[in-house]
Amino acid sequence: MNPRTTNILQVLLSTLLALSYFAAQDARAQELTDGQVFLISTRLAEGAQRSWELGARAQAALELNATRYSVYSKAGLPPPQRVPSDMALGLEPVFNIARRVLDQRPGGSDPRPLISDSSSADPASLGIAVVLANWTNLDNNADRYASAATSQAEYLFSTQVPKSDTGAISHRGAEVQIWSDSTFMVPPFLAYYGVITRNQDIVREAFNQVRLYRDHLRDGDTGLWKHSVLGNNSDPGLWATGNGWAAAGMLRVFATIEHSEYKDGLGSELNELKNWVNEIHRGVYDRFFDGENLVHNYLNDDRTFRDAAATALIASTVYRASTLYDEHRYIPQAQRSRLTLFTPNGGPGSNSDGSRFNDYEYFTTDGWLRPVSNPASVGDALDNGRSPEAQAFAVMLHAAWKDWVFEGEKGKDGASSALGLRVGAAGAWALAVLAGIAVLV
Ligand SMILES: *[C@@H]1O[C@H](CO)[C@@H](O)[C@H](O)[C@H]1NC(C)=O
Ligand SMILES: *[C@@H]1O[C@H](CO)[C@@H](O)[C@H](O)[C@H]1NC(C)=O
Ligand SMILES: *[C@@H]1O[C@H](CO)[C@@H](O)[C@H](O)[C@H]1NC(C)=O
């Protein structure tokens, strides 16, 4: 090689290094600050009132701040009965929810749900907080929490809750309705309850309920899940959030089993759960994901708005699949979604006040994710946010991404090449320079 070529190669190399350095800096500049996580969490705490919102909030708090008590912890189940001092603060919202639920619990005979609700499934989402309160003997009141959790579990199996002809636990109390949402509310509770009370039959039943829901809800063409079937007002559309609830619920059941003493006995169930989560990811990302990096509220319907909440929840499950069982295939898409949601309009670094969201497309200044599906009427958008479940999804995305970073960012190489135009343009530029060198030598 003549010296001139060597020089050009050196210049090229350092330019490429600089470019990749800046791309990495950009990605880092698009993380949420602690102040922003605080804002999102505060809006979540203010907004969460209904059974499943409190359940989603408890789950978000575990995943972000009380990681040793989350089923995603690789340290395994059950967690310590004595709360380590570095987990006490993080668990506070979870325990406050358990206290509040018990204090407000209406009288009546057992079995009964933790909260009275027209949904027979949603109150179960509070079950893990209550099981943890028993396990750690919160306020020296373990028995009170244990009997409430047991009553909730038995209620699901009681004749008070309708079942489909195959035995799927109804989402609604008045008649059998099967909703994808239930996958996040019921099976993760049953799995956790089963592990803590050392009842393998209940752990297996958690898996079985997932299987039954999927049998009812899976759309044969896409592998994605319908929102709800059976009964009045069913919604057979491919609601994006419902697919997120399903994938996240299945991953929580997977993680609960994987990190428990039942792992070896339930190997084929673990495999199925993986396949079913991957099936949703394939459906979402291979079919219905484009350069906007946000999914539509109904995945297969372009006329519906782009939903930041479902986008966040589904992306969180991609990071979880990566850290739980080494499936990295859709990390590039999850990265694109995350960077799109968490970047200010003026570009990375343009928000100088880390305690607010100044000029963000997908957050209000005070930290509501937007636009999001209206929980009271899921076909409609809330353009200025104010959906508590959406806040929980934003927290879950941040938490899942943090764990993925901690585990070494596997699948990232695919991700950086997909980061978008900037890296794409750098690549094209590098090719052009290489072509130039080829001409020179
Ligand atoms: C997580 O902890 C931070 C720091 O203490 C706190 O600001 C935030 O509200 C917590 N988030 C949740 C969802 O509990
Ligand atoms: C379902 O719809 C039918 C017909 O409108 C009505 O008679 C029935 O009461 C409804 N059932 C429930 C449980 O709402
Ligand atoms: C409550 O905690 C104890 C351990 O202190 C455990 O043996 C029991 O199974 C738990 N019960 C429930 C319902 O979680």
Residue with the smallest CA separation from ligand 1 atom 2 is: 65
**Parallel, antiparallel or unpaired: strands 377-382 and 228-229:** unpaired
Q: What is the DSSP string of 122-174?
A: GGGGGHHHHHHHHHTTGGG-HHHHHHHHHHHHHHHHSTTS-B-TT-PBPSBSS
169 in the same domain as 78: yes
Q: Is 146 in the pocket of ligand 3 (CB under 6 A)?
A: yes
| Whether residue 430 has pLDDT greater than 70 | no
- With the C-alpha atoms ordered 343, 348, 354, 358, is the resulting torsion angle positive or negative? negative
Contact (Cβ atoms closer than 8 angstroms) between residue 102 and residue 145: yes
Distance, CA 135 to ligand 1 centroid (Å)? 22
331 Cβ contact partners less than 8 Å away, ≥ 6 residues apart:
318, 319, 322, 404, 410, 411, 412, 414, 415
Q: Does residue 352 have its Cβ closer than 6 Å to ligand 2?
A: no
pLDDT confidence band for 177 (50 / 70 / 90) = very high
- Candidates 327, 339, 326; CA nearest to 401 is 339
Q: pLDDT tens digit string along 274-296?
A: 999 999 999 999 999 999 999 99
CATH number for the domain spanning 308: value is 1.50.10.10
Q: What does the H/E/C string look like for 189-215?
A: HHHHHHHHCCCHHHHHHHHHHHHHHHH
Q: What is the pLDDT of residue 420?
A: 45
Half-sphere CA count of 264, side-chain side, radius 13 A: 1
Q: What is the CA radius of gyration of the chain?
A: 23
| pLDDT attached to residue 422 | 43
Q: Which residue has the CA at smallest separation from atom 12 of ligand 3?
A: 146
Ligand 1 binding residues, C-beta < 6 A: 38, 41, 44, 60-61, 64-65, 89, 93, 395
Q: What does the pLDDT read at residue 17?
A: 53
Contact between residue 423 and residue 417 where contact means Cβ atoms under 8 Å apart: yes
Q: What is the pLDDT of residues 1-22, one digit of tens each?
A: 565 666 665 656 665 555 554 4
Whether residues 268 and 175 share a domain: the answer is yes
Out of 44, 64, 69, mutate this one to test ligand 1's pocket (max ligand atoms within 8 Å of CB): namely 64
**375 lies in the same domain as 263:** yes
Pairing of β 377-382 and β 372-374: antiparallel
Smallest CA-to-CA distance from 409 within 294, 326, 315 is with 326
Q: Which one of the ligands is nearest to 189 CA?
A: 3
* Contact present, 228 and 171 (Cβ < 8 Å): yes
152/26 same-domain check = no
Task: Supply the range of the domain harboring residue 108.
Answer: 31-421
Mutate to test the pocket of ligand 1, among 39, 40, 41 (most ligand atoms within 8 A of CB): 41
Determine the atom of ligand 2 nearest the C-alpha atom of 174: 13
| Mean pLDDT along residues 40-66 | 98
22 and 155, same domain (yes or no): no
Are 208 and 172 within one domain? Answer: yes
SS3 content of the chain, % helix, strand, coil (to 5): 60, 5, 35
* Whether residue 124 is found in the same domain as residue 153: yes
- d(C-alpha 116, C-alpha 373), whole Å: 24
- Alpha helix segments (H runs only) across 343-387: none
Closest atom of ligand 2 to CA, residue 231: 1
Rounded (10°) CA dihedral 102, 207, 391, 228: -100
Please tell me the distance between residue 197's alpha carbon and the centre of ligand 3 in angstroms: 6
Residues 100 and 148 in one domain: yes
Check pLDDT > 80 for residue 26.
no
Written as six digits, the tokens of 377 are: 């009427």
Query: 118-128 pLDDT, tens per residue?
Result: 999 999 999 99
Is pLDDT above 60 for 424?
A: no
What pLDDT is attached to residue 42? 98
Residue 190 CA, distance from chain mean position: 18
CA 163 to centroid of ligand 2, rounded, Å: 17
Distance from the CA of 187 to the center of ligand 2, in angstroms?
A: 28
Contact by Cβ (8 Å): 164, 234: no
Name the residue with the closest Cα to ligand 3, atom 7.
197
436/247: higher pLDDT: 247
Domain count, the chain: 2
Instruction: Please check the confidence at residue 89 and state whether its pLDDT lies above 60.
Output: yes
pLDDT recorded at residue 106: 85
Nearest 5°: the CA angle 292, 298, 300 is 75
pLDDT, average across residues 371-400? 97
Contact 267, 258 (CB under 8 A): no
CB 56 within 8 A of CB 48: yes
Please write the tens of the pLDDT for every residue from 321-353. 999 999 999 999 999 999 999 999 999 989 989
Q: Which ligand is nearest to the CA of 95?
A: 1
Query: Per residue in 179-205, pLDDT tens?
Result: 999 999 999 999 999 999 999 999 999
- 3-state SS assignment for residue 296: strand
| pLDDT of 165 strictly over 50 | yes
Average pLDDT over residues 60-89: 98
Same structural domain for residues 23 and 102?
Answer: no
100-119, pLDDT tens digit by residue? 999 999 889 999 999 999 99
Distance CA 71, CA 58 (A): 12
Distance (Å, whole) CA 86 – CA 431: 51
User: Ligand 3: does its nearest atom lie under 6 Å from the Cβ of 151?
Assistant: no
pLDDT at residue 426, as a whole number: 47
Q: Note whether 330 and 281 are within 8 A (CB).
A: yes
Question: 297 with 356, same domain?
Answer: yes
So what's the pLDDT on residue 413?
A: 83
Of 67 and 19, the one with more pLDDT: 67
Same domain assignment for residues 18 and 79: no
Index of the ligand 1 atom closest to the CA of residue 392: 13
Better-predicted residue by pLDDT, 374 or 413: 374
User: What own/partner pairs with CB < 8 Å and gap ≥ 24 does 24-31 have?
Assistant: 24/416, 25/348, 26/348, 26/419, 26/422, 27/335, 27/339, 27/419, 29/348, 29/349, 30/338, 30/339, 30/342, 30/343, 30/348, 31/342
Q: Is 260 helix (H, G, I), strand (E, B) or coil?
A: coil
Asked whether residue 387 falls in the same domain as residue 413, the answer is yes
Tokens representing 28 are: 């880092």
Integer angstrom CA distances of residue 334 from 285, 288, 337: 9, 13, 5
